[in-house]
Amino acid sequence: MMNKNILMIGILFGLVSLLIFWWLKSPLGTKAENMHISATYNEQQGYEQFVKQLPQQKWDKMNWNSPFYMNNGGLPRYIRDCEAYITVNEILVKQEEPKEEPKEEPQKEPIEKPQQEIQRKRIALTFDDGPNDKNTVQILSILQKYDVKATFFVIGLNVVKHPEIVKLAAQQGHEIASHTWSHKNLTKLTPAQMHDEIDRASNAIFEATGQYPTTYRPPYGAINANVRDEIKMKSILWNIDTMDWQHKTPAKTIENVKLHAKDGGVILMHDIHKETAEALEGVIQYLIQENYEFVTVEELYK
């Protein structure tokens, strides 16, 4: 009998030792903070290994992540009737946050590079032999309508007759230049006569506008070394001749401009002819369409 008791005690001791060994080696014997929780971790283990071991003060401080309902299944008998929702931190393996699909960057609209500013061509309208009390006034009106500035090479004798027209042209921003006093061919004059033609015209212009001219156009375009030596004022000729004085036809004046207009052009017309005044609007409209900028002779040769 005693041997049986000793045998039973040995068996019980062995079973207890096995249970203790199993307890230490199993997940149930792992401290909560060291647990590696799997997706199959059950409620019983969660409660026994984690929830039950949390100090009370930590419950108030923990930032719980997800609600976990401790239902009747698998819980110890003494809390088997618990129906409360208990918030448990990290009982289950933290689910991986769903990876965001790479967002397609919205296609950037191509940045429109500012177009380079179009280089405008420059051209100068010039009128000889005025002023004329009818045609010059009409020409000034058309120029003002299109906000175009021009250069008037006036004859001194005509300036004295119509100083108010010359003054009006200057007030509107046009350049007033000299075409000599009486339109004589300077290459056939003596030095004294040359100076007389230039000086008298300059004085007449000053009387009408309050300014002396800085440029002149020799009549007929006639100029040589002698004239250049005597007259120090800048001489201005032309490189586009409308031939308005010859054909006296508005359509031909416009056509000549269309054929010969160019950047840096100096257009020759005469404001003493009514056909020139009639052609002027068509000339301006064409040059605007062709992107020309209107300038005075002084501006062109700065």
Active-site positions? Answer: 128, 270
**CA torsion through residues 221, 225, 230, 236, sign:** positive
What gap in Å lies between CA 163 and CA 210, rounded to an integer?
11
Peptide bond into 163 cis (omega under 30): no
Q: What H or E segment, with its residue span, contains residue 166?
A: helix 163-171
Burial (0-12, 13-18, 19+ Cβ within 10 Å), 272: buried
Other Cβ atoms within 10 Å of 84 Cβ, number: 7
**Are 129 and 156 spatial neighbours (Cβ–Cβ below 8 Å)?**
no
**Are 180 and 218 spatial neighbours (Cβ–Cβ below 8 Å)?**
yes
